[in-house]
Chain A
């Protein structure tokens, strides 16, 4: 049962409660850095590190933090992890750091992270909090990657910097410009809502069929 619950917390972040496609959180980095797959992965990994690290600490110290100053404490913890991620990226992959620019320090303001601390990590045991954070971060990473991959393939004719098409491919430059982010996100959200709509409809049909068979 216990194992199932932590699995459940992990899975929900990837699909049912996906932070981007379902909760529509963290839109700022989502639209800004997904013009190439590699940027999306770097941003996703940095967010993963920050989210899991701060969820672990917040959950571990949840009884020690007075609730009047909890938000300040969460922000201090998040900001520390963001600074660590910032310097590590600058030292290890300066090129990616240059591309992501101001959006790494801005992870502090990503409402996805603060939201998870307030809604989950500060109320549940450490193990569940870490599972929840990992699930949410993976969901965020997958969302970034799916947007980044689509935009890079269409806008640059490449994936992870590898050219996919011949010289004859005319890149849709708009896809790597800001409007491309909105277009792609819109289409993906449309798919998710359509999917949810279909699922509800299906469940209703099943219920209907069961009722009439009685």
Chain B
């Protein structure tokens, strides 16, 4: 054993200094790694969001962030923290396609965060993507792994509200087949969309008067440089 053999304790100053130096070096190292990875991490997040928006809104090639301020939807570069944001999706010519709405709510184990595409003209959901979930692997995770279920959100009417029915029982435009073995998780996704729709439907402008596309650069692009 190479540990110091003397049993007398070194003076406190040395102990304090050792820890202070170790903490200082460690702090500098952490700041360094934080600063050097931050641009990549922000870019990754922005890219993920763009990909999700493009996925839930077929035919969209440009997007901008929208928030509800002073009883109308306004376009923002960066939304305030804690301010609910939705994304407007636009085609090549800047024509409005639909909204991508983030929504979250309790699932079977933890909060499920989703993004769904909404076409106000026909009042239908055109796509759904699970952004975050801790549902049971093999069962509840089918809400994003089961292609039949995810595909079920391609033209789903939200009027009067979406209803999850037993597999194979879908007969109305507002019904979707729940996943066998993941009933709670699939009902949770449906409830999250219904609640988000109820909260937003009054705040969305009448169909045809959606905010124009202003950003020439797609939102999120500035973070990607």
Asked whether, in the complex, the Cβ of A76 is within 8 Å of the Cβ of B22, the reply is yes
Asked whether, in the complex, the Cβ of A73 is within 8 Å of the Cβ of B22, the reply is yes
Asked whether, in the complex, the Cβ of B15 is within 8 Å of the Cβ of A69, the reply is yes
Residues 1-21 of chain B: 1 if any A CB is under 8 Å from the residue's CB, otherwise 0? Answer: 111100001100011001100
Whether a CB of chain B sits under 8 angstroms from the CB of A164 is no
One of B1, B10, B45, B48 near A68 (C-beta < 8 A): B10
Min CB–CB distance A53 → chain B (angstroms): 11
Whether a CB of chain B sits under 8 angstroms from the CB of A27 is no
- Do A77 and B138 form a contact, CB below 8 Å, given A66-B14, A122-B3? no
- Do A68 and B37 form a contact, CB below 8 Å, given A73-B22, A77-B22? no
Asked whether, in the complex, the Cβ of A66 is within 8 Å of the Cβ of B15, the reply is yes
Whether a CB of chain B sits under 8 angstroms from the CB of A84 is yes
Whether a CB of chain B sits under 8 angstroms from the CB of A22 is no
Q: How far is the CA of A200 from the CA of B218 in the complex (A)?
A: 69
Asked whether, in the complex, the Cβ of B137 is within 8 Å of the Cβ of A35, the reply is yes
Complex interface: stretch among A8-16, A139-147, A169-177, A190-198? A169-177
Whether a CB of chain B sits under 8 angstroms from the CB of A165 is no
Asked whether, in the complex, the Cβ of B19 is within 8 Å of the Cβ of A83, the reply is no
Complex interface: stretch among A41-49, A86-94, A109-117, A203-211? A86-94
What is the number of contacts between chain A and chain B, taking CB atoms within 8 Å?
A: 75
Q: Closest chain A residue to B2 by CB distance?
A: A123
Min CB–CB distance B28 → chain A (angstroms): 10
One of B1, B29, B30, B137 near A177 (C-beta < 8 A): B137
Interface size classification for chain A:
20 to 34
Query: Count of B residues near A, CB < 8 Å?
Result: 29
Task: Report chain B residues within 8 Å CB of A62.
Answer: 2
One of A87, A124, A171 near B138 (C-beta < 8 A): A171
Q: Closest chain B residue to A87 by CB distance?
A: B37
One of B26, B37, B48 near A77 (C-beta < 8 A): B26
- Do A80 and B4 form a contact, CB below 8 Å, given A65-B18, A66-B14, A69-B15? no
Task: Report chain B residues within 8 Å CB of A173.
Answer: 137-139
Whether a CB of chain A sits under 8 angstroms from the CB of B41 is yes
Whether a CB of chain A sits under 8 angstroms from the CB of B72 is no
**Interface of A (DSSP majority class):** helix
Asked whether, in the complex, the Cβ of A83 is within 8 Å of the Cβ of B30, the reply is yes
Task: Report chain A residues within 8 Å CB of B201.
Answer: none
Asked whether, in the complex, the Cβ of B15 is within 8 Å of the Cβ of A68, the reply is yes
Whether a CB of chain A sits under 8 angstroms from the CB of B203 is no
Whether a CB of chain B sits under 8 angstroms from the CB of A132 is no
Q: How far is the CA of A113 from the CA of B34 in the complex (A)?
A: 23
Task: Report chain A residues within 8 Å CB of B10.
Answer: 66, 68
Q: How far is the CA of A189 from the CA of B138 in the complex (A)?
A: 26
Task: Report chain A residues within 8 Å CB of B30.
Answer: 80, 83-84
In the complex, which of the residues A66, A72, A123 has the most CB atoms of chain B within 10 Å of its own CB atom? A66
Asked whether, in the complex, the Cβ of A123 is within 8 Å of the Cβ of B22, the reply is no
In the complex, which of the residues A84, A87, A90 has the most CB atoms of chain B within 10 Å of its own CB atom? A87
For window 32-74 of chain B, which residues contact chain A by CB distance below 8 Å? 33-34, 37, 40-41, 44-45, 48
Asked whether, in the complex, the Cβ of A177 is within 8 Å of the Cβ of B136, the reply is yes
Residues 32-66 of chain A: 1 if any B CB is under 8 Å from the residue's CB, otherwise 0? Answer: 00010000000000000000000000000011111
Asked whether, in the complex, the Cβ of A88 is within 8 Å of the Cβ of B33, the reply is yes
Task: Report chain B residues within 8 Å CB of A63.
Answer: 2
One of A69, A91, A122, A171 near B40 (C-beta < 8 A): A91
Asked whether, in the complex, the Cβ of A123 is within 8 Å of the Cβ of B136, the reply is no
Asked whether, in the complex, the Cβ of B137 is within 8 Å of the Cβ of A176, the reply is yes
Chain A residues engaging chain B, CB cutoff 8 angstroms? 35, 62-69, 72-73, 76-77, 79-80, 83-84, 87-88, 90-92, 94, 98, 122-124, 155-156, 171, 173, 176-177
Chain B residues engaging chain A, CB cutoff 8 angstroms? 1-4, 9-10, 14-15, 18-19, 22-23, 25-26, 29-30, 33-34, 37, 40-41, 44-45, 48, 132, 136-139
Q: Can you list 6 pairs linking A and B with CB atoms under 8 Å apart?
A: A66-B14, A76-B26, A84-B29, A84-B33, A87-B33, A87-B37
